Amino acid sequence: MSIFTSITELGWQTYFQQQLSLDEWDDAIPARIIEQNKSELIANTGSETIVIILLPAMPEMVVGDWLLLDTNKNFSRLLERKTCFSRKAAGNKLKKQLISANIDTAFIVCSMNEDFNLNRIERFLSLVNEAEAEPVVLLSKSDQASNPEDFIHKVQALDSSLIAEAINCLDATSVAKLSPWIKEGVTIAVIGSSGVGKSTLINTLLGEQRQDTAGIREDDSKGRHTTTRRSLIALKEGGLILDTPGMREIQLADCKEGIATTFSDIEAFAEQCRFSDCQHLTEPGCAVLKAVNSGELDQRRLDNYHKLLREEALNSSSLAERRAKDKALGKYYKNTLSKSHELKGR
Ligand SMILES: Nc1nc2c(ncn2[C@@H]2O[C@H](COP(=O)(O)OP(=O)(O)OP(=O)(O)O)[C@@H](O)[C@H]2O)c(=O)[nH]1
Ligand SMILES: [Mg+2]
Ligand SMILES: [Zn+2]
């Protein structure tokens, strides 16, 4: 396990410091969650590692979160997050799932082979933009691609201000390109589908085989994900990097702003539509459809925009409905409980 020598190295920033009360300034010990499993959290204080057993009364916490411990090194409270990545939980679960907290930069990894997919990159960008973290698109397996520049152009055609780099995750010289983003106190999350090279990239940055990669996996029968847990790892150059399991399904929820930022070109065209509530489907005077016809906008990109917006609206409304139901149920239990106490008291 990595030993963090100071909390600045762990990513402690003024944003978190400002949340401390005067008493907490004196007594509380800040700690950051660096690993988690179903029943416990592993937190680091900058000088030691603390295991926190999860209790029902605790708030939902995730890797990257900052929390305060009391003088006995027990959980005291969770600090407000600067950024948070979340999605609707996979499958039919009506639940929001936290992915990670307090991420400054996201490396969105996509390999330059048959898995290359612009729709998926736009999906990840929406998630990262919603959290207002800085996205960097990494196009991996450059050693296997005959034309990496074509892939870079395709990504930059989405948004000319987007940073895209082609890398060979197995090669230290190639990975050294990423040094401008690796700085003390900066937390980077590596996200992308399974098998794109996220753990390989982290191992190359570390200069050691810390994380299992598909190449050295002994038993493939457990499924196609090699990394199964999120862990925050300290880098020699400073900074922290979060390895994540490949996400097969990232259903967007509560992500409207993120989609708007990702598709700001479409939103700009939309301002010129004849009707202010234009859906850009069949309406006359639609500036978005005009941009498709003139070749300024890809039909694929417009289709994906529609798809992500529909999905986001559906997921957000079912999650809101679920939250309202849970709240009503909570009130009901509270009422019946206090009634039964009243009866018992009589
Ligand atoms: N040639 C080449 N192979 C790569 C590159 N990046 C990763 N690989 C290989 O691709 C396979 C998958 O890499 P991993 O690092 O395990 O992928 P991952 O993204 O961590 O996958 P999950 O943990 O399942 O999400 C391994 O066999 C790596 O050696 C690369 O840039 N070039
Ligand atoms: Mg992995
Ligand atoms: Zn329109």
CA of 168 to the centre of ligand 1 (A): 10
- Going by pLDDT thresholds of 50, 70 and 90, the confidence category of residue 218 is very low
Instruction: Give the residue whose CA is nearest to atom 1 of ligand 1.
Output: 141
What are the E-state strand segments in the chain? 29-36, 40-44, 49-53, 66-69, 75-78, 84-88, 96-101, 105-111, 134-140, 163-166, 187-192, 231-234, 240-243
Instruction: Give the residue whose CA is nearest to atom 3 of ligand 1.
Output: 141
From the CA of 192, the nearest ligand is 1
| Substitution site in 139, 140, 165, 213 for ligand 1 pocket (most atoms within 8 Å of beta carbon) | 213
How does pLDDT run across 123-155, given as a tens digit for each residue?
A: 999 999 999 999 999 999 999 999 999 999 999
- Going by pLDDT thresholds of 50, 70 and 90, the confidence category of residue 91 is confident
From the CA of 285, the nearest ligand is 3
Of the two residues 222 and 291, the one the predictor is more confident about is 291
Contact 240, 11 (CB under 8 A): yes
In the predicted structure, residue 1 carries a pLDDT above the cut 70:
no
Average pLDDT, stretch 213-223? Answer: 51
The 3-class secondary structure across 48-80, one letter per residue, is CEEEEECCCCCCCCCCCCEEEECCCCCEEEECC
How does pLDDT run across 302-315, given as a tens digit for each residue?
A: 999 999 999 999 99
In the predicted structure, residue 216 carries a pLDDT above the cut 50:
no
Average pLDDT, stretch 203-213? Answer: 91
CA of 314 to the centre of ligand 3 (A): 21
From the CA of 214, the nearest ligand is 1
Cα-to-chain-centroid distance, residue 53: 24
Pocket of ligand 1 (CB under 6 A): 140-141, 143-144, 168-170, 194-200, 213-215, 225-227, 245-246
Is the pTM higher than 0.85? The answer reads yes
CA terminus-to-terminus distance, the chain: 57
Average pLDDT, stretch 201-211? Answer: 92
Per-residue confidence (pLDDT) for residue 6, from 0 to 100? 82
Rounded Cα gap, residues 89 and 133, in angstroms: 21
Contact 47, 12 (CB under 8 A): no
Within 10 angstroms of residue 207's Cβ, the number of other Cβ atoms is 10
How does pLDDT run across 221-279, given as a tens digit for each residue?
A: 344 678 888 899 999 888 999 999 888 778 999 999 999 999 999 999 999 999 999 99
Residue labelled with tokens 């990109």: 301
Share of the chain above pLDDT 90, in %: 73
| Dihedral sign (CA 29, 32, 38, 40) | negative
> Token digits for 24?
């907490």
Of the two residues 185 and 227, the one the predictor is more confident about is 185
Per-residue confidence (pLDDT) for residue 48, from 0 to 100? 92
Contacts of 7 (CB under 8 A, 6+ apart): 30, 32, 45, 46
